[in-house]
């Protein structure tokens, strides 16, 4: 009887753990993230407008804290000052993890910033964590943290791939 009870408790615990890990919005958030990174690679202000919530708190990899208005101002300034042939970054994500808590979700991933055109510069890596809230049927990032992955850690990761 004890064995059956213990087995039942173990199965219920595992089941509860799996439910906590399930993120029904994972496909939607992954698609949004990939669309955003494609738009950010083109410096698309409309994509930034869509992705970031008005009340965003963004902490950059350099430790600078900014909001959505600051990001849009920087994006527009970069678009105006960009010259043809200027090096740009192409952004992509790997190792995406999503945890959902109702209308709130945490999205963590490894960002790859690839210089275009590819030349002597190497890919830069960042760990990013964003908190999203679903408002009016739409997910938007309300908090963001970017951390530079140390070069030696990035090289170790590349060597294992």
Do residues 98 and 115 touch, judged by C-beta distance below 8 A? no
The answer to the question of residue 5 being in a domain is no
Cα of 131 vs its chain's centroid, Å: 9
Residue 113 within a domain: yes
CA distance 132 to 56: 10
Over range 129-146, report the average pLDDT.
Answer: 98
The chain-wide mean pLDDT, for the chain, equals 84
Q: Which residues of 93-102 are buried (b: 16+ CB within 10 A; e: fewer)?
A: beeeebebee
For residue 123, give the 3-state DSSP assignment. Answer: coil
Structural domain count, the chain: 1
Question: Is there a domain that residue 116 lies in?
Answer: yes
Q: What percent of the chain has pLDDT over 90?
A: 66
Query: What pLDDT shows up at residue 119?
Result: 61
Q: Which domain holds residue 47?
A: 27-160
Task: Provide the b/e sequence for 37-76 (b: ≥16 CB within 10 Å).
Answer: bebbbebbeebbeebbbeebebebeeeeeeebeebeeebe
Query: Which pLDDT does position 155 carry in this prediction?
Result: 57
Residue 88 is predicted with a pLDDT of 83
Q: Which two tokens stand for residue 117?
A: 């055109």
CATH number at residue 139: 3.10.450.50
State both tokens at 87. Answer: 């090096």
User: Which tens digit of pLDDT belongs to each residue from 13-64?
Assistant: 333 343 445 799 999 999 999 999 999 999 999 999 999 999 999 999 999 9
């Amino acid at each position: 009887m004890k064995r059956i009870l213990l087995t039942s408790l173990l199965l219920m615990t595992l089941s509860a753990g799996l439910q906590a890990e399930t993120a029904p919005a994972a496909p939607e958030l992954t698609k949004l993230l990939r669309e955003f990174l494609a738009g950010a690679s083109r410096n698309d202000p409309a994509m930034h407008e869509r992705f970031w919530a008005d009340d965003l708190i963004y902490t950059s990899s350099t430790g600078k804290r900014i909001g959505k208005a600051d990001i849009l101002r920087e994006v527009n300034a970069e678009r105006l000052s960009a010259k043809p042939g200027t090096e740009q970054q192409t952004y992509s994500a790997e190792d995406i993890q999503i945890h959902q808590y109702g209308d709130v979700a945490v999205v963590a991933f490894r960002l790859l910033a690839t210089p275009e055109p590819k030349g002597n510069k190497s890919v830069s890596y960042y760990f990013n964590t964003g908190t999203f809230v679903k408002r009016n049927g739409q997910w938007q990032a309300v908090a963001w943290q970017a951390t530079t992955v140390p070069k030696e850690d990035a090289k170790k990761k590349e060597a294992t791939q």
